[in-house]
Structure formats: C-alpha cells, structure tokens
A and B are shown apart, each in its own frame.
Chain A
Amino acid sequence: MPALTVNGVDIPVTPDSSEDEPLVVGDRFNAFAGNLRLSETARVRKFSFVTNRMDPTQYATVYAALATFGPLACSGDALPASVTSCAITLQGGPFGNDGAEIDRVIRFQLEAVSP
C-alpha cells in the first residue's frame, strides 16, 4: 500500500514526514468540584509531508492532486486507517536543477477529521 494516496494519485512522500499537534474542536474545564468536564465534537489530526524530488511531469500530476479544492479522498500507510477524507494546505517547497531538468519538492499539511 502506498504511503499516501490523494484523490487516486500516489504521493511520493519522504520518510521524515510527521504528525503535528491535533486541533480539538470542543471545550474542557475543571468543574467547581475540581473534576474535569469536557466536550469534544471532533479531533482534527494534522500531518506534515514533504515529497521526494520530482521531475516536471510527476510534479504536475502530484501538484494538481494536492491543489484540488475541497475535501479530498485520502488513504495510505502514513495515515490512520479511519482517515478517508482530508484537506490539503500547500506550503511550497524548494526546487533545483539536478542535471538537465529542474526537480521540485512540495511541502504540504494534511488535515483529517478523526474520531
């Protein structure tokens, strides 16, 4: 199984990708008696990815998949099994001339609502 697939496109991510602090939609406080009270509507897990260096053709395909607006179909070993839908925020990335062609790297953050 690929490490990450977005909208049917395999994304060549590097091993040093990471999971960030999740965003918890909810509330929590200590009650007057000291006990914890909390509500939680959703937990948004955030993953930071960096792609491998890609040639222009692959870059175009991957970029198009990642830049698609709206909820995206997401899966892969890098994500929890429960995650099937995600949103992508592109964060840019370096590119360079490695020989005859310009290779590029894309950094992006993937957010997925997870129970």
Chain B
Amino acid sequence: MISLNGQQQTTLEGSHYSVHLRIEVEDAAGNWVDLTSAQGVDFVNGLDYGFSVDQPIPRFTAYLQRKHGDLSLEPLDEDSLLNRNSSTGDYGALVDIGRRVRCWTATVGLTDTPGANDWILVVDGRADRVELAGEEMLVIGRDRIGALVQDRWIEEPDEELRVYGTDPGQLSELTIQAILDDWADGEVLYTPDAPTSAFVPTYKPPQQPVYQATSEIARKANRALWPQYENGAWRMAYVPVDRTKTAIDWTFGPEDYRDVTRLDVDVTYVRNAFIFTWAGGTSTLENNTSIARYGRHPLIITEPADSPIDTEAEKDAFLAALNSDLADPIAEQEIETLYWPAGQLNDLYRFLPNGVHYTVAQDWAATGFQHSLRRDHHRTRISARGKPAGAYLAHHQNITVTDDALTLLINDAKWTPPGPALPVYAGTGRFRMDLTLGKIGAAVRSVKVELLLDGVAAQQPYYQTLPDGDDPKIRVRISETGLFSDPFGNDGHGSEYYVTIGTGDWTVRVTPYSRSVTDLGLNSTTDLRNLGINWTTEDQLTEGEAGNPGEARSAPLGEPVAEGWGSTFEPHRPGGPPVGGPDEMFIAGTTLIGRPALDFDQEAITGRPQIRMRAPYVNSAVSGVWTPEYVNGPVQGVDLFGDTTILPPADILPGETLHLHIRTNGHDFSLGGLFVVPEGLRVGRSGKCHANFVCDPWGEVSGLILSNMLPEAAA
C-alpha cells in the first residue's frame, strides 16, 4: 500500500473528505504547466486511471476543457497563449502525444486546503493519444516507464548476439537490468530486496517487447515486475510476491463502500494439476483439494532448454507459485467506494461481513484498481481475489511454447486476403483492417497479428491479450509503419490507418496463443469460431460502410462488388444467423470444406440458374487446383482469379435445395460473393438473404455461404 502520512491516514479512515486533483503537462520546452491554473484558468474536468495484476501498466484518461474564452488547449490553435514554448515564446502545442503528464490527488478534510505533503503522484505518464473533436479533450496514455518497456523491443536480429544471462546463472535482476540497458534507455530497475535468489542462465530471448521479456523472467522467478509508487515516485519495481501474507493492509466494511459491484466464483482459470517438463525431466504437482472441489484442470508446461528454471529448487518454487495462484481462486470481488488512492497490487484487504454477500470476514488480495474523478464523481473500484499472486492470466499463456508448436499454430489460423487479385485496387489500393476475434477456442488467451508481404513480415507483429468475456474482440489497425490497437472504438477514418498495398501477395497471419501448450490443438474447423476480419478500402471508409456489413451494398452483376473490397466473414458459425452483406468474403482455413445450401423459391426459380462466384481466390503461393463441385459431380478447372460463372449440371426443380461444395484442397480460399441469377437473366437487383436462407431469386445471393458453412465432417 502507498505509504500515507498521519493526516492522509486519518482522512481516508473517515467517511467525509474532500478530493483535489491536479494535472500537469510538459510544454514544448520541457517545463511543467499546471492545467488547473493555466493562465489562471482550471482546464481539468476529470481523470480516470487504473491498473491490475494482469494489466499492471497504469493507464489513464485525462478530461480537459478544450477552450475557455480565448484560451485554448487545441494543439493546432497557434493564437492561444497556452500553446507557447515557454523558453522561446514561439508557437508550441501544450498538449501533444509523447508529452509527459503528471496527475496528483490530495484527500484532506472537508474544509481543508491541501498542503505540499498531501499530494500523491497517482500518474506519471506519457500521452499516447489526444482526442480533440469535442468540447472536452481527452488525453489518453500510460505510465511513462511502462509505456517505454511496452513499446521498445529487443531488436537484435542475430540470435547469436541476442544472449542474456550467464552460466551457471546470473541474478535475475541483473539480467532484467541488462535488457533494460540495451533496449530501454537504461531505465533503472528498482529491486527492494536485492539481491534476489533467482538466477538466469545463458539464454536467447526472441525478438519481443522488452516488457514481455523482462516480465517473463520475473514470472519464472516467482516475482512481479510492474510500475510501483514509492517515496513520491513511480519506478519499475521488481517485487517479491508474498503469497503467504497475512498482515491486513486495510479493512473495508459495508459502511465504507457503496456496493459490491461484482462477486464471482469462476472455474475458468482454475488449474490444479501441473505437469511440468523441463531439463530435469517431467514433474507433476496436483492439488487434490482443488481437484475435489473444481474437478481436474491440468496446466501442462514445457520449458525450453535454456529456461531459467534449471534446478529442482527453482522448479519446485515455480510449481508452488502456480499452485498458489491458480488452484483456488476463492472468489473475485469488486467494490465501489469513495475515491481511495492508497491501494497497490497485492495489498491484503479485509472485507467485513455485510449481511448479504458473506457472513464472515474475507481477506482478499487486491488485483486491480480503477479510479474515476469528475466534478460530481469521486469513486474507486477495487478488485480483490484470493491470495496475493504474481499473475493470473499470464500463467495461462503459452509462454513456453517451442518454435515448432508456434508454426503449427500459424498454419491453423492463417488468413489470406486477396492480394494481386483485388478487382479494383490491385497494386495501388490503401487498406484498413479491422480484426475482430471472437471465441477462437476456449484455450486461446492472446493473439499475434502479422502483416506479411510475399511471406515475409512487412512490419513488426502486434500482440494483443484478448479481453475477458464471452465474446472478446480486439481491433487492429494497419498503419504505414506497423500494426497497433484501437482500443477506444475510434472509427479510424484518418489516413494514418491505411497501408499501401503493392503488387505482392499480402497475408495477414493471426496466431492464437493458448493458455497452455496442450490446450492448443487448434484447427480451423473446430476451434476457429467467430473470427471476423473487416478488410476495407479507403473508398468504403469514406462512404461509412466499413464495419457495418448490414448496410453494405450490392451491385448489379457485371459490376464490381463494390468500389473496393469489403468483407466480414464468420467461418463455421453453426446455428448462427446469416450476417453480413453482399460484400462478404469467406476465408477458409487450410482444411475446411464448405457446403452451402441454397434453397430456391418454388415459383420463381426453375431451370438452370447461373451461379456466379465473385473473384474466388486461392493463395498464389500454392499451385493446387481449386475444385468447386456440386452434389452430383465436381466441376474442374475453374479459373482461380476473377469472377467465375458456373451452371449446375442439371435443372433445379421447384423447392429443391442445391448443395454447393467448395473444396479448397487444403489451400487458403476466399470468395467475394455468391450470386444466383435465374436462367436467362443477366442483371440481378439488390436483394437480401433471409434467415431461413431462402433468397430472392431476382437478387443476388451473397453472404449466405459464410454463415452456412459447415466442416466436411458435420456436413
């Protein structure tokens, strides 16, 4: 817990106090400007900030009044006195991305004015994003040090030079510091109890974010690595995890909090049989109490040969930590209370009986804090659960997966958009990609997204942990320089979200990471569910159609599907309603064989209708034959590119259902649309598929194939 002085302790123990907020930003000259009194005006409307065990890098959103009289924080307002370089007097935006932001709060008596010692630095951050459109500006960012280690990478391409640790072992804090020295501007690691007893032998970390590499060392040393406030400053702290802690940091009773806003008991993340393969063999630790209560939930881990866990003692300690963190979650609770700034991760709180949720006091460790300060709202949400832990969800990631296993995952989840075969934008188009990931198997915890050109990574990959929930989604933007997330729901109509497509074969590769190696076994027919990618052209963005397939338009036959190429697809969605519009595109996995069923209106369709496929495409990197076939016989030799028109081998009778097989022969496959045109007609008109898949025979059938796709076995 943050150290409090006597006044702060007394104040926070009371039921009434005043809350004060101060936000400072660094101006263009590097001098601090207090936004609560900039040119005598208070521009601060509020602040949100928070962090958790599994997202320990604090994030914040500062809410600022954009304009007051002639004073404006609008960065592009060159006339505003606020936008001045305090050294030169020249124009210089006061609020800008990359600038440091400091947020302070003070809690004092209702009629007291905060003194110098009352202020707590709750955010020492850096602005990642500034939203300027509304009357209220939003400055969104992360902890300064956390952002540094998250954004920086171990870049060394030569594996032989990418070596850390020493033999027989280097103190783990020294290994982390060496990585920080090389790739994070020498940021100084704070280790309160140095030296530790964890050692790292020589190993070769992959090219990966600095935070990923260093936090993994910490996790295997049964410690935690996260920004922590101490003695007036935030530092990257390498802290021990006291899993046997009993000293209570704070007590909350029902007279303190407004409500228990969440109280769950969930078996999802329980693991109680740990099968651990390492250099010394395979060891198993079973928690029989947990197994008896929750059933058996194994976690199988295979350590690489150069793992820092290379002694019996280290192995035993790691298994004990996993057992402590995962075998018995007890319960997860969230309370909402008056603003309470003193909390830190792994504090131990006592929650007194409230007569409703529990009848005896519960001692739970703090797992997260979310603070919200507004003019009429001073609240803190505190999450707590079980015992202090180094991680919860991070234990479930397949951080020990081998390269071979990773390759298998890539193959199983590969998606290939149409590259040179694009009907309109081949060679010159600029594209944006929204990637929506739903349930890709219960085992998947996070994903890596890569953009490849002719099979070679064109940009740095992007990693994203899937948010919790039954239908987690992420959005990934393509920029000219890399992939990045768009967690704030911005529709991203700015040009920075595009990438220019050349003439090569572009591939977006999505690699799911499992909670453990053996949980994987993914294949696209059984585990790849509700995966949607919206691949949209610039023109469609302008028209506002992107990401809204329900409003996507159809086009007369003979015309391009749309001005560009839009798609939203959901392969293998058994039982789901048809979604999407005429521009839908189906992307199969490597082994998926689909069988869409087309039911024809009894009166309007007879004879032998044309079935047109819009720009079917097979990954040009392979030379296999793409074979569409009908129930009564395959049709060979269909052109792999461009629109394809085929005729059923026999007349369709009224009310008959035509099953159309599309066999991909194990290759990636995409389809821009499926059109059915009654015999003798050349132009269809817009129409929609209905829920029962009966389609307007005078219109175009599209999107149908996507939601009615079944794997071969099921079909």
| Residue B253 lies at the interface, judged by CB distance under 8 Å to chain A | yes
Contact A25 B16 (CB under 8 A): no
| Complex Cα gap A39–B259 (Å) | 17
Contact A36 B15 (CB under 8 A): yes
Q: Known: A39-B378, A41-B20. Contact between A70 and B354, CB under 8 A?
A: no
Among candidates A24, A40, A70, residue contacting B41 with C-beta atoms closer than 8 Å = A70
User: Besides the contacts A27-B338, A41-B18, what 9 more A-B pairs have beta carbons closer than 8 Å?
Assistant: A26-B378, A30-B258, A32-B255, A32-B259, A33-B254, A33-B255, A37-B16, A39-B17, A41-B20
| Residue B110 lies at the interface, judged by CB distance under 8 Å to chain A | yes
Q: Known: A37-B338, A70-B40, A115-B111. Contact between A25 and B15, CB under 8 A?
A: no
Q: Report A34-52 residues with CB < 8 Å from chain B CB.
A: 35-42
**25 intermolecular pairs with C-beta atoms under 8 Å apart:** A26-B378, A27-B338, A27-B376, A27-B378, A27-B379, A29-B338, A31-B258, A32-B254, A32-B255, A32-B356, A33-B255, A33-B354, A35-B255, A36-B15, A37-B338, A38-B15, A39-B378, A40-B16, A40-B18, A40-B110, A41-B20, A41-B21, A41-B375, A41-B378, A69-B70
Contact B18 A37 (CB under 8 A): no
| Residue B339 lies at the interface, judged by CB distance under 8 Å to chain A | yes
CB-defined contacts of B21 to chain A, threshold 8 Å: 41
CB-defined contacts of A41 to chain B, threshold 8 Å: 18-21, 375, 378
Q: Report B369-420 residues with CB < 8 Å from chain A CB.
A: 375-379
| Complex Cα gap A27–B69 (Å) | 28
Closest to A71 in B: B40
| Residue B294 lies at the interface, judged by CB distance under 8 Å to chain A | no
CB-defined contacts of A39 to chain B, threshold 8 Å: 16-19, 107, 338-339, 378
Among candidates B20, B69, B258, residue contacting A69 with C-beta atoms closer than 8 Å = B69
Q: Report A1-47 residues with CB < 8 Å from chain B CB.
A: 24-27, 29-33, 35-42
Measured CB to CB, the closest approach of chain A to B142, in angstroms, equals 26
Contact A31 B255 (CB under 8 A): yes
Closest to B14 in A: A37
Report, as a range, how many residues of chain B touch the other chain: 20 to 34
| Residue B260 lies at the interface, judged by CB distance under 8 Å to chain A | yes
Q: Known: A26-B378, A27-B377. Contact between A35 and B15, CB under 8 A?
A: yes
Question: Chain A residues in contact with chain B, CB under 8 A?
Answer: 24-27, 29-33, 35-42, 69-71, 115
Measured CB to CB, the closest approach of chain A to B96, in angstroms, equals 25
Task: Annotate B252-267 by CB proximity to A: 1 below 8 A, 0 otherwise.
Answer: 0111111110000000
CB-defined contacts of A29 to chain B, threshold 8 Å: 258, 338
Measured CB to CB, the closest approach of chain B to A83, in angstroms, equals 15
CB-defined contacts of A37 to chain B, threshold 8 Å: 15-16, 256, 258, 337-338
The majority secondary structure among interface residues of chain A is strand
Cβ-closest 8 pairs across A and B: A32-B254, A33-B255, A33-B254, A27-B378, A39-B378, A39-B19, A29-B258, A69-B69
| Complex Cα gap A25–B374 (Å) | 8
Closest to B41 in A: A70
Measured CB to CB, the closest approach of chain A to B71, in angstroms, equals 9
CB-defined contacts of A40 to chain B, threshold 8 Å: 16, 18, 110
Among candidates A24, A26, A32, residue contacting B258 with C-beta atoms closer than 8 Å = A32
Question: Chain B residues in contact with chain A, CB under 8 A?
Answer: 15-21, 39-41, 69-70, 107, 110-111, 253-260, 337-339, 354, 356, 375-379
CB-defined contacts of A31 to chain B, threshold 8 Å: 15, 254-258
Contact B338 A33 (CB under 8 A): no
| Complex Cα gap A29–B15 (Å) | 11
Measured CB to CB, the closest approach of chain A to B74, in angstroms, equals 18
| Complex Cα gap A30–B40 (Å) | 36
| Complex Cα gap A32–B257 (Å) | 6
| Complex Cα gap A66–B375 (Å) | 26
Residue of A26, A35, A71 with highest tally of chain B CB at under 10 A? A26
CB-defined contacts of A33 to chain B, threshold 8 Å: 253-255, 354
Closest to A32 in B: B254
Contact A26 B255 (CB under 8 A): no
CB-defined contacts of B254 to chain A, threshold 8 Å: 31-33
| Complex Cα gap A115–B16 (Å) | 15
Residue of A27, A30, A40, A70 with highest tally of chain B CB at under 10 A? A27
Residue of A26, A29, A32, A70 with highest tally of chain B CB at under 10 A? A32
Contact A25 B375 (CB under 8 A): yes
| Complex Cα gap A115–B109 (Å) | 12
Closest to B377 in A: A27
CB-defined contacts of A36 to chain B, threshold 8 Å: 15
Measured CB to CB, the closest approach of chain A to B271, in angstroms, equals 33
Measured CB to CB, the closest approach of chain A to B45, in angstroms, equals 11
| Complex Cα gap A37–B335 (Å) | 14
Contact A32 B354 (CB under 8 A): yes
CB-defined contacts of B259 to chain A, threshold 8 Å: 32
Measured CB to CB, the closest approach of chain A to B108, in angstroms, equals 10
CB-defined contacts of B17 to chain A, threshold 8 Å: 39
CB-defined contacts of A24 to chain B, threshold 8 Å: 376
Residue of A36, A39, A40, A115 with highest tally of chain B CB at under 10 A? A39
CB-defined contacts of B107 to chain A, threshold 8 Å: 39
| Complex Cα gap A36–B256 (Å) | 9
| Complex Cα gap A40–B70 (Å) | 30
| Complex Cα gap A32–B15 (Å) | 13
Contact B260 A26 (CB under 8 A): no
Residue of B21, B259, B375 with highest tally of chain A CB at under 10 A? B375
| Complex Cα gap A24–B338 (Å) | 16
Contact B18 A26 (CB under 8 A): yes
| Complex Cα gap A31–B335 (Å) | 11
Among candidates B255, B337, B354, B376, residue contacting A25 with C-beta atoms closer than 8 Å = B376
| Complex Cα gap A38–B259 (Å) | 15
Measured CB to CB, the closest approach of chain A to B353, in angstroms, equals 11
| Complex Cα gap A32–B107 (Å) | 22
Measured CB to CB, the closest approach of chain B to A110, in angstroms, equals 17
